[in-house]
Amino acid sequence: MALTVEEIHHLLSVEGQRQYGREAVSQRDHALQCAQLAEESAETAETIVAALLHDLGHLLATGRDEIAAAQAQQRDDLHQYIALPFLRGLFPPAVLEPIRLHVDAKRYLCAAEPAYWDTLSPASKRSLELQGGVYTSEEAERFLTQPFAAEAVRLRRYDDAAKVPDKTTPPLAHFMGMAKALAR
């Protein structure tokens, strides 16, 4: 059931041309910007690849018709979990866990840093509500105890900043080379 690196490359190249939610960039451009920000911050190869692939679940949820797309605007699509079965046989936990936790990291940051909410795009604020809203202080504390929570928080910040129209990034092949090197 695991995807190959080549299949991931194809998904990002082809399906990634779709608009990223209600943002002004495509899914592919968002992924590339996120990975670039992680690389510029001297993250590990695992965190850079997690940044590249964190929204792959959106691309795997294909075949939506207009009714299903409208329904998706009313509930969370759980994209952080969708990709995991397809990636689990290919990548180590240091790639998978930040992907799994990046939505929870947004909920955590809203609890830990009240001003963080103001930095979110309107689409991200909307999705936060669908994803369960801001964590309570107890939930935030519990989040931080999980392995790779710190990486997920950094990934979340790259995710928030990776929505710049027409931004120049390294090509997809650059980051896919890192993914290939990490693949089992």
Is residue 81 over pLDDT 50? yes
- Mean pLDDT in residue range 31-60: 96
Report the Cα 55 to chain-centroid distance in Å: 4
Alpha helix stretches (DSSP H) within the chain: 5-13, 27-40, 45-53, 56-60, 66-72, 79-82, 84-87, 93-112, 122-130, 137-144, 149-161, 172-182
What integer is the mean pLDDT of 43-66? Answer: 84
Average pLDDT over every residue of 34-54: 98
Residue 149 vs residue 67, higher pLDDT: 149
184: tokens are 């089992």
What per-residue confidence (pLDDT) applies to 124? Answer: 83
What mean pLDDT is predicted for residues 156-165? 94
Tokens of 120: 């979110």
Q: Give the residue-averaged pLDDT of 22-41.
A: 94
d(CA 81, CA 101): 9
Q: Residue 27's pLDDT is what? A: 94
Q: Give pLDDT tens digits for 92-109.
A: 999 999 999 999 999 999
Domains and CATH numbers, the chain: 5-182 (1.10.3210.10)
Residue 1 has pLDDT above 90, yes or no: no
Give the number of residues written for the chain. Answer: 184
State pTM to two decimals.
Answer: 0.89
